[in-house]
Chain A
Amino acid sequence: MTPSDRGRSLFRFAAPQVFYPLAGRLAPWFAALAAVLTLAGLWLGFFVAPTDATQGEVYRVIFIHVPAAWMSMFIYLIMAFWAAVGLVMNTRLSFIMSQALAPTGAMFCFVALWTGALWGKPTWGAYWVWDARLTSQLLLLFLYLGFIALTRAIEDPRRADRAGAIIALVGAVNVPIIYFSVQWWNTLHQGASVSLTKAPSMATTMLAGMLVMALAAWAYTIAVVLWRVRPMILERERHTEWVGALLDQESTERGGRA
């Protein structure tokens, strides 16, 4: 690709030297958006949404539990998407994106399990049951941890990228299993609170709080992943001229301060 082609194409953002500064500029905006949405969501969840008729106050765990569970599934699918793009188009940035998503996905997956346990005890009488929904969500956590461990254990980045991409793609099969588990099997876990075909089975203010928290989780994920991808790009691209120039600048700034 000639430089003029690159200038015209949207694909220029796939070039690490273009994406690196862009990520740095965008991340703080998404972080600020996440903070504002979190405050709004917590206010809706704790001060506007009414007490639940059957569960009392403990249901307020939902404002974290459902967004975290959604996010853990979305992130895995996006991870698998970038892995597939990397394998097909052989673009360096795709594999890096895939690997930058994994820790945040694992975090949300753990949060979904943790808040689920704390919600399960008072409502079901048990922190944990080997139910289809819970078991497939636990498997998702192991897939995340396996992906992270594997991509970090392999020294050669090209082999690590490919091995990780295969786990990401094979593991993606688990995501629809988690989502539909409450329909396919008889489970203790309740069905979907929100679906595209039915009216939501909850008060409007509860739903609003949950959706605002879900948007906050999206904004947070974008901010953290953009921040995480930057050092990964520098390390991968350390032999290139643009990283050399950037490091010169950093060392001058450091020298100036000392």
Chain B
Amino acid sequence: MQWESWSAFWEMGGAAGFVWGSYGVTFLLVALELVLVLRRRKEAVRKLLRWRRAIGKDRNGRTDARMESQ
């Protein structure tokens, strides 16, 4: 163990701002990227379902007869 106490650990020998500023921003960006990436699939599915209703495909992937006759 390198530290005499937890407060010595958090102080990082006087470099707390530089060390925790590096780790903090990095983990914030990683968390943000994970949230965005996991949300994007749900959004894509929602968007594609809407797109499919708009072009009038039914559940079996057939184009709606009314749309075709137009």
Query: How many positions in chain B have a CB within 8 Å of any CB in the partner chain?
Result: 36
Task: Determine which of B18, B19, B26, B49 lies in contact with A251 in the assembled complex, contact meaning CB atoms within 8 Å.
Answer: B49
**Is the Cβ of A231 less than 8 Å from the Cβ of B19?**
no
Q: Tell me whether A180 is interfacial, beta carbon within 8 Å.
A: no
Q: Which of B20-47 contact A (CB under 8 A)?
A: 21-23, 25-26, 29-30, 33-34, 37-38, 40-41, 43-45, 47
A243–B49 alpha-carbon span in the complex (Å)? 11
A57–B45 alpha-carbon span in the complex (Å)? 47
Query: How many positions in chain A have a CB within 8 Å of any CB in the partner chain?
Result: 43
Interface residues of B (CB under 8 A from A): 1-3, 9, 12-15, 17-19, 21-23, 25-26, 29-30, 33-34, 37-38, 40-41, 43-45, 47-49, 51-52, 57, 59-61
**Is the Cβ of A238 less than 8 Å from the Cβ of B48?**
yes
**Is the Cβ of B15 less than 8 Å from the Cβ of A58?**
yes
Known contacts A56-B13, A119-B22, A224-B37; 6 further A-B pairs (Cβ under 8 A): A50-B2, A65-B22, A107-B33, A118-B19, A118-B21, A245-B61
Task: Determine which of A51, A65, A230, A244 lies in contact with B57 in the assembled complex, contact meaning CB atoms within 8 Å.
Answer: A244
Q: How far is the CB of A22 from chain B (nearest CB, A)?
A: 15
Interface residues of A (CB under 8 A from B): 46-51, 56-58, 60-61, 64-65, 68, 103-104, 107, 110-111, 114-115, 118-119, 121-122, 220, 224, 227-228, 230-231, 234-235, 238, 241, 243-245, 247-248, 250-251, 254
Q: How far is the CB of B29 from chain A (nearest CB, A)?
A: 6
Task: Determine which of B19, B34, B45 lies in contact with A234 in the assembled complex, contact meaning CB atoms within 8 Å.
Answer: B45
Q: Considering only CB atoms, which chain B residue lies closest to A65 in the complex?
A: B22
